[in-house]
Each structure stands twice: as structure tokens, then as C-alpha cells.
Amino acid sequence: MSELRLITEPGVYVVGRPSFAYAGLDAYFADRHAGCKLERGYHDDAVSAGDAMPEVAGRMCYQSFTNPRPGGNAAYLDHIKSVGHGSVLEHSVWNFIITGVSRSLSHELIRHRAGIGVSELSQRYVDCSDVAFVIPPALLKYHRDWCENCGGISAEALDLALPFSEWLGGRVDSLAEYAQWTDRLVKDAPADLPATERRKWARQAARSVLPECTETQLFWTANARALRHFIEMRASRHADQEIRRLAVCVLRLMQSEAPHLFSDYTLTELGPGDWEATTPHRKV
């Protein structure tokens, strides 16, 4: 019982980001834009290749490298956003690993398809007998009450007359049920299956007793245009609280990765630790 693991917030790791191949970029300017007034084709206030890439793409369209308007990369991208020419944002792509989110969240996350790639932890291949559970944000206050009344997960803590003990008891039961079904099904699996396949065969059915708050992990790849749409849909007050927390976390990371692309969002606190993001430039 002491092995039951609980998660109170997501982990979001940026594991890949845009970068220029300067040999090619410099060769292009030497060949076609010898008089370019912009260093390497973009304004030097761009703090990352993520911010600079859409400017290079946009300037390539209009061949506007030689006489750039003043205002820098920030003004250039503000203009792109205000006129809705968002396709150039698709050239900046980031890779993330996301942990500490529930299967109910991942079910919503994967609905975002345009400009996004997803790989998700396999519940058939990976043993879930010590899986963690994500506490839904609305239950965190019950979790805090419970933590103040006991030192950890124990039989006594489950018997405390607190709402969180009831929730936890259900999760302990889910894990016990998963273990029972896995053991039973591994023995009953078709005899001709090799050992790894027998375990997969058992787990694919045993996982049916795991709840939606079971933790999952995702490798998530998205371009800046898709990231903006995801943030607008999911950091909204109308979205589910857990995915809103993830979307706000992604926005905060992106404001450091590409501040000019994501500068137009306003964060408003809806309640303690619960934020909403809004922008005047929706769906560029």
C-alpha cells in the first residue's frame, strides 16, 4: 500500500526546439540576397530560432530582406498575428515530453491533430502494477486536508473519515484488481504465445479496471501555430481544469522559448493556482 503514487501537477519537458542550419541559410543569402540589410535574414532582436524562423519564411515570400520595416522581429510577428497569416508559424516546431497527466487528459490532448505528433506510453507493453494516479485539481484541497491528518498512505489513513480517504481507497482497489486480473490472464493466455506476448495479452485486458486518473506519459511535437490553437482552446475557462493547467504550463514555457510568438497572451487567475490565457489574436 505504501507504494501507491500520487501526482499533484504535470511535468512538461522541452526536449527539442528550432535551430537554423546556418551553412544553408548563409549560402542562400550569398547566392540570392547579397545586399541583405538584415543579419542572416531576420531582425537581431529575435531571441531564438523559434521566433526568427517565421520571419525568414515570411520575408522569403515577399523577398523583403533588403529594406526591412523598423520595429524588429517582435513587430514583424505582431503584424503576422494581427493579419492572421499564421502559416509561417508552422515552420517553428518544438518537441516535449509530458508526464504526470491522466489518461482522461491524454484523450482530450490527442484530439488536437493538425500540426501535432503524439506518441503515448503503452499500457499493453508496460506493466501498470505500480502506476501513479493524478489527483484532479478539484480534489487537491481534499488531498491537502488528508495530508494534514496523516503521515502517509497506510491502512489507518484509508480509514480516516475524510473525503480523500474514500477516493484513495478506490484507487488502492483498482491496483489490487489490476494485479489479480494480470495474474489470472497470464496463466490463461493462449499456450502458443511467447512470454512477452502473454504479458501483453494479459495487460491489454487487465487495464480495463484502471481509472481515468491513471498517469500517462506522452512525447508531443507541435508547431507554433498548433501550439497557439491548443493554448487558446485548452487554457480557456471553459476547458477541463487539468488540461487547462497543462496548457498554461506549456504557454509559460513557450513565452520563454519564443517570447515574440507568444507575447500576446494575458494570464488571468480564476482561483488559487488556476489560470486562464486569452489573446486578441485567436486562431492565426
Ligand X SMILES: Cc1cc2nc3c(=O)[nH]c(=O)nc-3n(C[C@H](O)[C@H](O)[C@H](O)COP(=O)(O)OP(=O)(O)OC[C@H]3O[C@@H](n4cnc5c(N)ncnc54)[C@H](O)[C@@H]3O)c2cc1C
- Please report where in the chains the cell 486562431 appears, as a residue: 283
Q: Which of 199, 207, 234, 245 is catalytic?
A: 234
Q: Choose between 198 and 228: whose C-beta lies nearer to ligand X.
A: 228
Binding site for ligand X (CB under 6 A): 111-114, 229, 233-234, 238-239
Q: Please state the closest distance from residue 225 (CB atom) to ligand X, in A.
A: 9
The Cα 61–Cα 57 span in angstroms is 7
The Cα 106–Cα 257 span in angstroms is 23
Q: Choose between 32 and 283: whose C-beta lies nearer to ligand X.
A: 283
Q: Choose between 56 and 222: whose C-beta lies nearer to ligand X.
A: 222
Q: Please state the closest distance from residue 114 (CB atom) to ligand X, in A.
A: 4
Q: Please state the closest distance from residue 2 (CB atom) to ligand X, in A.
A: 38
SS (H, E, C) the chain: CCCCEEECCCEEEEEECCCCCHHHHHHHHHHHCCCCCCHHHCCCCCCCHHHHHHHHHHHHHHCCCCCCCCCHHHHHHHHHHHHCCHHHHHHCEEEEEEEEEEHHHHHHHCCCCCCEEEEECCCCCCCCCCCEEECCHHHHHHHHHHHHHCCCCCHHHHHCCCHHHHHHHHHHHHHHHHHHHHHHHHHHCCCCCCHHHHHHHHHHHHHHHCCCCEEEEEEEEEEHHHHHHHHHHHCCCCCCHHHHHHHHHHHHHHHHHCCCCCCCCEEEEEECCEEEEECCCCCC
Question: In angstroms, what CA-CA distances link 221 with 48, 52, 101, 267?
Answer: 18, 19, 16, 24
Q: Choose between 127 and 240: whose C-beta lies nearer to ligand X.
A: 240
Q: Please state the closest distance from residue 283 (CB atom) to ligand X, in A.
A: 7
Q: Choose between 9 and 240: whose C-beta lies nearer to ligand X.
A: 240
Q: Choose between 5 and 237: whose C-beta lies nearer to ligand X.
A: 237
Q: Please state the closest distance from residue 239 (CB atom) to ligand X, in A.
A: 5
Q: Please state the closest distance from residue 89 (CB atom) to ligand X, in A.
A: 12
Q: Is 111 a catalytic residue?
A: no
Active site residues: 234
